[in-house]
């Protein structure tokens, strides 16, 4: 996974990115989308998209999240999860390392980014806003999305 990460950094034209002592690597895309990669095992890497803090004032939030998670599961997309330290909603996607290439990694990161955009818009259309200082509704071009993004 170290070699893959080096080749990925070279492909996207950034100097150097690497896993820290906790086997995590985090970076921003367009200063809007925050992605973390976890070197979870010799067989796969996890791709996480940081969506934002849980809104505690919306009673429909839990039902919308369950609905979104089912939709993503049915369509082979990332899964929604909760990171307790940051009290944030994440999208998580397992990336197998067998035959992995920088192009495949980039494509799967794009799946997570598109899923983040669409989740944010669907929730916004339901009157639910995730607290995220980086993702702003006006920065996401299409506000007409009514469905989640399958990605593949």
Can you read off the two tokens belonging to residue 142?
């299409």
Q: Report pLDDT digits (tens) over 87-117.
A: 889 999 999 999 999 999 999 999 999 999 8
The answer as to whether 144 is a domain residue is no
Higher pLDDT, 129 or 11: 11
The answer as to whether 127 is a domain residue is yes
Phi and psi dihedrals of 132, rounded to 5?
A: -150, 115
The domain in which residue 12 lies consists of 2-139
Q: Report pLDDT digits (tens) over 42-53.
A: 999 999 999 988
The answer as to whether 8 is a domain residue is yes
Number of compact structural domains in the chain: 1
Look at residue 62 and give its three-state secondary structure: helix
Neighbours of 129 (CB within 10 A): 15
Residue 59, domain CATH:
3.30.1460.10
Please answer whether residues 139 and 116 qualify as being in contact, where contact means their C-beta atoms are separated by less than 8 angstroms. no
The answer as to whether 146 is a domain residue is no
The answer as to whether 93 is a domain residue is yes
Helix (H) or strand (E) holding 10: helix 2-12
Q: Please report the pLDDT score of residue 149 as a whole number.
A: 42
The answer as to whether 145 is a domain residue is no
The answer as to whether 152 is a domain residue is no
Q: Report pLDDT digits (tens) over 35-93.
A: 999 998 999 999 999 998 878 787 788 888 898 899 888 888 899 998 888 888 999 99
């Amino acid at each position: 996974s170290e070699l893959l990460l080096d080749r990925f950094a070279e492909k996207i034209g950034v100097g150097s990115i690497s896993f820290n002592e906790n086997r995590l690597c985090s970076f921003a895309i367009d200063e809007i989308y925050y992605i973390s990669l976890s070197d979870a095992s010799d067989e796969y890497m996890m791709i996480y998209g940081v969506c934002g803090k849980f809104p505690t004032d919306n009673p429909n939030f839990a039902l919308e999240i369950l609905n979104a998670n089912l939709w993503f599961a049915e369509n082979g997309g990332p899964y929604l999860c909760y990171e307790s330290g940051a009290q944030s909603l994440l999208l998580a996607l397992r990336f197998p390392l067998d035959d992995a290439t920088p192009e495949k990694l980039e494509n799967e990161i794009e799946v997570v980014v598109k899923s983040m955009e669409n989740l944010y818009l669907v929730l916004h259309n339901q009157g639910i806003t995730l607290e995220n200082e980086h993702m702003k509704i006006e920065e996401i071009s299409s506000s007409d999305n009514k469905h989640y993004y399958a990605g593949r």
